Structure formats: structure tokens, C-alpha cells
Chains A and B, each alone.
Chain A
Amino acid sequence: MPIDLDAFKPAYQKWVEESLSDWRAGNRKEIVKKYPLITPDDIPWTAYNGQPSNQTFALVTSGGLYLKDSQPPFDTESIHGDTSFREIPKTVSRQDIGIAHAHYDHSLAEQDINIVFPIQRFVELENEGIIGRLTDTHYSFSYVNDAVSLVSETVPELISRIKAAGVDVLFLVPV
């Protein structure tokens, strides 16, 4: 069953109204506890067939990664979070990646980006033939509270892009 946005929407709007002052005051722990988590009953499933060595992989991180020279950082101020994503090329250099995410300590990822976005490891596995292909484009999200926009707008766009790229498996790394 698709995610029930009709039930979530009013609960989320109420949460935003009640939480705004705490959000602005920086009392984030309090309002996170009150967030109207979506709790689906079912679990979607697409059977996995074939071998990784014949397939195309893509990565998604929620580490707030963006390309410092060519992409805007994520919005880290809004109570809604930022529901957009950034495309990160497989050939990216570490020094080109910025991190815009106000809800985790970046210091470890600054030392080694692979702990939030294991791109170098996947490139190695592609070179060794353990996976068939690592797609050219990967994706980063950041902190999101507005699940309505995420589910109805952003994720359909992500799905259309990864399908167009012939992605067989998506590997997701949250922070």
C-alpha cells in the first residue's frame, strides 16, 4: 500500500505549528519526540534476481552532500528540512564535496567521506568486477521533515532518474 499521506498531512501541519517556537529556540530534541512518524503496515518487496557482477548499482546518502562549486547547499534552517536532492557524479573529488546538514556531527565524514557515501569502495568493486557497473550519477539528500513533498514530488523524480539510468539495485546510507 502506498504511504498514507492523507493521514500524515494534518498531523504534520499540526506538528509544524506546535513546534515552530521550539525549533527556532533550538530545542530540537523535544520536537523530534513529537514528530508524527509514518508507520506503514506493509513492507514493499521487489525480488532480487541475478548476480551483482552483472548489475548496475547506485548510491543514495542522506548526509547532506553537495558540490561546492556548482550546486546550492541544502536549506538547514527550515523546520521542514530540505526535500531536494543533489546529484553527485561517480568521478567526484573529495575536495569538491560540501556538507549541509545541521543534525549530525560532520567531523568523521570530513575525515573520510566514505563513511556516509562509500563511493570509493564501490568504484573499487566495479573495477574488480564484483559489481557489474556503478552508475555515473549518485544522489544525496539532507535532513527532511516534510515527508509530504518528499513522497509526492522528490522521490518520484529520483525514481524516474534511476530508472532512466538503468539502475538495478539502490544502496542507501542514512546518517
Chain B
Amino acid sequence: MGLIQRLVEEAGIPTISMGNAADRMAHIKPPRAMLVRFARGSMFGEPGNVKRQRRIILDALEALQTMTEPGTIQELPYRWKQPDPE
């Protein structure tokens, strides 16, 4: 996915991605990414947590507008089956 993201960004379309592995992200260097602490196959946390899914997407929309440095990775505070911060 990192390669796809890089090529699309290079082609002139801004991109933002989710990620859960800081070491792999350091290798492939996505232009903009949100880092979560969730396992493979569930970048938005436990199934059915609609409120959190929405919140993560809103975080990403905000990041799109505020990230100015190529390769910025923003770590999100959400944790598996734990209440989200206020």
C-alpha cells in the first residue's frame, strides 16, 4: 500500500493512509499517515465502534489540512476496547 500511496501522491493527488507498524512505515515512507495501535486487519479498532471510525476519519481530514512536512506520521491515542479520550 505504501508504494501505491507514493505513486498516487507523485502523480499529483494528495493521499493519506492508515498504518499500524512504525518500522514498516519508516521503510516505505508514506507522504502522510495516521498511526494506530491496532492489529492487522482492523485499522479502526474493534468491529462496530462506529463513533471511533468516524473520529479517526475526521482526525485524518484534519491532518490533511495541517500536515505540511512530507512523511509526517501522526500517532492516534485510541486503544483496543478502551474508551476513547474526550
Residues on A facing B (Cβ under 8 Å)? 2-3, 37-40, 42-48, 51-52, 60, 62-63, 104-106, 108-109, 111-112, 114-116, 118, 121-122, 124-125, 130-131, 141, 147, 150-151, 155-156, 158-159, 162-163, 167-175
Contacts and interface: CB of A to CB of B under 8 A. Distances in A.
Interface of B: 1-19, 27-31, 40-48, 50, 53-54, 57-58, 60-61, 64-65, 67, 70-71
Given A40-B28, A167-B13, A174-B19, A115 B8 contact: no
Contacts of B54: 121, 124-125
A84 B15 CA distance: 20
Given A169-B14, A172-B15, A174-B17, A116 B41 contact: yes
B42 A109 contact: yes
Given A159-B7, A170-B15, A174-B17, 8 more contacts: A37-B27, A37-B28, A106-B41, A115-B45, A155-B4, A163-B13, A169-B15, A171-B16
B10 A173 contact: no
A162 B2 CA distance: 17
Contacts of B67: 48
Q: Of residues A42, A45, A47, which shows the largest number of chain B Cβ atoms within 10 Å of its Cβ?
A: A45
Contacts of A104: 40-41
A173 B42 CA distance: 9
Contacts of A52: 61, 64-65
A86 B16 CA distance: 20
7 contacts: A44-B10, A46-B14, A46-B15, A162-B8, A172-B15, A173-B43, A174-B2
Contacts of A116: 41-43
Contacts of A47: 14
Q: What are the 3 A-B residue pairs with the smallest beta carbon separation, nearest first?
A: A112-B47, A111-B47, A174-B1
Given A39-B28, A141-B1, A155 B45 contact: no
Nearest to A167: B13
Contacts of B30: 43
Contact of B6 (A37, A44, A156, A173): A44
B1 A45 contact: no
Nearest to B29: A43
A48 B14 contact: yes
Give the most central of A42, A104, A108, A162: most B CB within 10 Å.
A108
Contacts of A167: 13
